[in-house]
């Protein structure tokens, strides 16, 4: 679940690199930006990860998921607004289908569980 959300955030951050170069984003210290999003828009942190440049990418969304904001925080703690929108959907929140093993390769018992193969 967390891996899918992280993958979505990192994918969005990678795609946003070209967009951020052309526009001057609004930036604040991370703590101020998080408080601003919470107090003014009711948004809380729902996902985070590191992009390929080592910056922290975070998604803030309302509890009802009807509004979201994507931010990027550099190593100095300065957060910049990258994108904002409506309807945040985290595919990782959905139940995942159980993985299946081929019949030719039966599951091997984990010795830590006390079973021996």
Could you report the per-residue pLDDT of 61-110, keeping only the tens digit for each? 999 889 999 999 999 999 999 999 998 887 765 445 554 444 444 445 55
Query: Any residues with CB less than 8 A from the CB of 38 and at least 6 apart, and which?
Result: 44, 60
Residue found by looking up tokens 């904001």 in the block: 69
Is the pLDDT confidence value at 17 over 80? no
Would you state the torsion angle of the CA atoms of residues 82, 85, 91, 94, taken in this order, to the nearest 10 degrees? Answer: 140
Write down the pTM of the prediction: 0.59
Q: How many CB atoms lie under 10 A from the CB of residue 48?
A: 16
């Amino acid at each position: 679940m967390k891996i899918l959300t992280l993958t979505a955030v990192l994918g969005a951050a990678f795609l946003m690199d070209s967009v951020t170069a052309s526009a001057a984003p609004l930036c604040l210290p991370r703590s101020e930006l998080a408080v601003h999003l919470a107090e003014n828009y009711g948004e809380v942190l729902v996902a985070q990860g590191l992009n390929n440049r080592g910056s922290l990418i975070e998604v803030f969304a309302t509890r009802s998921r009807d509004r979201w904001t994507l931010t990027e925080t550099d190593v100095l703690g300065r957060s910049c607004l990258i994108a904002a929108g409506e309807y945040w959907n985290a595919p990782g929140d959905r139940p995942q289908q159980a993985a299946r093993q081929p019949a030719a390769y039966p599951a091997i018992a984990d010795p830590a569980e006390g079973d021996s193969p």
